[in-house]
Amino acid sequence: MTLPHIYSGKVRDVYDAGHDQLLFVASDRVSAFDVVMAEPVPDKGRVLTAMTVFWLDHLADIAPSHLVSADPTHFPAGAGDITDGAGRSMLVRRAEMLKIECIVRGYLSGSAWKEYKATGTMHGVPLPAGLEESSQLPEPVFTPSTKADTGHDENITFEQACKIVGDDVAEQARRISLGAYDRAAAWTAERGIVLADTKFELGFIDGTLALCDEVLTPDSSRFWAAADWRPGATPPSLDKQPMRDWLDASDWDKTPPPPPLPAEVINAMRDRYISAYDRITGKKFDEIIGVRR
């Protein structure tokens, strides 16, 4: 009997595994500008899952996590009926998720750069004058956002986050997020990769704030090759950058349906995800469960 399906997001499918547990299955779907493309990126879901498992182990002393097991032999009956789930599934504990996104920025990029250009602030907080796009910030900053049910998340100040989740919880979230970012940024720097920013999902399990969902993957983080980084420009990201570049060069108006992606763009994305996994974890992609050898 297949596990009951609960939810499908842009990438993940969630199933009820019983006993207050869920089965997260990371698909190969890929999106841009909030639109899911028709073509998947082969093995992307396996990379996201394996990277998350790697980081949750590496950060275990900073915060607990919702992960029970990524070993299929530990999954409940019915999990094996889910199509092509090998290597892309995690059995996790249910959590009471925070109603904020926990973002940490070490470099000035993305929406933070747009805000800084306009107002000299980042999430409402003044920054030093004269910073350029992709400049390293004086120190990593916890920059939360709302968690929108529909539409886009909105950048907020720490004080606004306190009003949403409470002062103590917001402070805990900031401490965990900054600690995890610092650990991860030091790890990737030793491997020639800049962790520009990342987004964590935190939730309460048995009264303790824990890391949940995906952690420090190319989908939730901005990774740059250190050799490509310099202030004043945005380096290529180790993720779906080839798709973004191709779509930007097309005449697509950013509304559904999206144009078909060429095979070379799909292959280039797959290569980037695999390269990110190999370089960051020090492990081998072809050792991930479910990868065709």
Establish if 247 belongs to a structural domain: no
Identity (one letter) of the amino acid at 109?
A: S
Residues 80 and 103 in one domain: no
84: left (phi over 0), alpha (psi -120 to 50) or beta: left
Residues 59 and 152 in one domain: no
The CATH number assigned to the domain holding 67 equals 3.30.200.20
Q: What are the residue ranges in the chain where pLDDT is below 50?
A: none
Render pLDDT for 202-221 as a digit per residue (tens, 0 to 9): 999 999 999 999 999 999 99
Number of structural domains, the chain? 2
Residues 83 and 136 in one domain: no
Residues 48 and 84 in one domain: yes
Residues 72 and 153 in one domain: no
Residues 109 and 85 in one domain: no
The CATH number assigned to the domain holding 195 equals 3.30.470.20
Whole-number Cα distances in Å, 39 to 33, 221, 266: 15, 22, 8
The whole-number pLDDT of residue 290 equals 81
Domain region containing 157: 97-228
The whole-number pLDDT of residue 293 equals 53
The whole-number pLDDT of residue 83 equals 66
Note the pTM of the prediction, 2 decimals. Answer: 0.94
Residues 129 and 213 in one domain: yes
